[in-house]
Structure 1
Amino acid sequence: MTTLVLTHETGLRHETPQGHPEQVARLEHILHAFRQNDIAVETAPEGRREDVLLCHPERYIARLEAALPAEGLHQLDADTWISPGSLAVAWHGVGAVREAVDRVLAGDARNAFCAMRPPGHHAEQETPMGFCFFGNAAIGAKHALERHGLARVAVVDFDVHHGNGTQSLLWDEPRAQLISSQQMPLWPGSGDPSERGAHDNVCNIPLAPGSDGYEMRDAYTHDVLPRLRDFAPELILISAGFDAHRDDPLANLNWSTEDFVWLTQEICQVAQECCEGRVVSVLEGGYDLAALAEAVTVHVKTLQEAAA
């Protein structure tokens, strides 16, 4: 078995203002690291409207299409911008996660990584925010449940910012379990442990500013991994944000690159026990370019080792 890695050149055409942390260079650095490390990539297909409609209503898609500028940049909220190439990359981000789910569940690959930007886990049903347009991980989960007939799908989100969008999109879905660790306090301000979902299907793990990989490993060992095993998912999706790295400029956690290796290994081990190793990982945040490229590379290499 192999690890499927999907990307698309549209990811290089979503423009943001100069100095914006969610920039074209994020994907450029990742793809350069992949070439240096002989990590082969495949081209992600375009997403379909019916895929997005699993989580977002038609009127929201229409609003984004109406906001798409013919040239220049248009601001959607305080930190989310749309450019002429933005929706093309958003559609391919959805297509990447759908293709990854399809091929992992078909047995064509043991696991997969979707190297697409912008991230998706802050997008709510009708609200683009936090650099995000479509809730890629939630769409992947709903695709697995609705189109493949799975009974239980888990999403593990280790981005430093709480995935408020994924939580909102899966809040009422009893077949999906969301487990999310995040720095608290930190934007967007959600992610308190009291937020448990309509079916006790949400588990939020707050991590204190300044804490490091030791605290993260302790929380995952005692809280996250046992809950994940008890749920026994048939597929695990990862919202893989790398902005908990100690070098990241947007937060205050102090994880090392090796912490991402450990965390990926542990999630893959649960997947091996519960669902034949089936994991689909989707890129979220990470804004120090060198740290992002390094952490993504070891994440993919760890997925490859788990797939071997």
Structure 2
Amino acid sequence: MSAIASYRNAALEEVKKVVELGPKMLEDLSSSMAKSFVFGGVSEAEAAFLSSLSGGDVEKANDTVDACYKVTRDALATGAQNIRVLERFIGLHIPQMGESLERSIASRAHAWRMCTIPVSHLDIQLSSPRDGNNFGVTVQMMMSKFLKEEREKMEKSLAESSKYYSSRADAIDKFTHLKKTSKSETKSSSKTSATGGKDGDESKESSSSSTEEKTTHGDDEMNLHRARALAALDAQAYVDLSVAMQTMMDGYVCILDNLEKNWEKLENPRGKNYGGYGSGGSSMVY
């Protein structure tokens, strides 16, 4: 068995595992979402977050958003990773193209490669047969497009959500009631040497170090508008994470549904009796 054939077989086994574990994964995500996203709407969340700041301790973590942050980002990362497994499976099951198509593609390959179609889609277009039983290839292309779109949405949400703590730190830094402490340390050293003196050559070294600490006491009361701004930021993050989680789950269940409905066309786009890539035939080309 060639290296490519082993990759193809490994991709098939990986996809079967993803599909098999898919329903359990969605069930676990639904359970985690119900436990983590406890508020009925953004106003309820914002009011609860503002109330938790009434004591003035704005630097403490928002445990609710922290829990949502973790479960959502884990789900997005896992979903995007699993979709890449599916994309690899489809890419390795594209059928072998016929000679007539090879000649046609050869004459237009340069022009196609100069276009703005993403590489993964271009590879499919350059490799997909246009003659004979091509419906399965069309299914492959449509599924590849759908997978790419869903993966990119997950990866975008993953990147956007990572900015939460930076934004929160900036908001907290603007509060004027917080005590701020700064430290500075100063070090100095000197070295002198003398020769030919009464006591002969002489060398002296000295060093000193001093540390200064300054504490600035802020306003007596917390600024209410700053508190509202922080609560609103937390509430927005809560909603964004909820939307990202639900969107990820909706996309993932649609992917599993499409895989189940079109499995034969995705694995054997030109039928099991067709000899070539992506078939169950015996005349595979490696």
Which TM-score bucket, shorter chain as reference? under 0.3
TM-score by length of 1: 0.22
Say which one has the larger Rg: 2
The structure whose residues are more often helix, as a share, is 2
Q: Which has the higher contact order (CA 8 A, sep 6+)?
A: 2
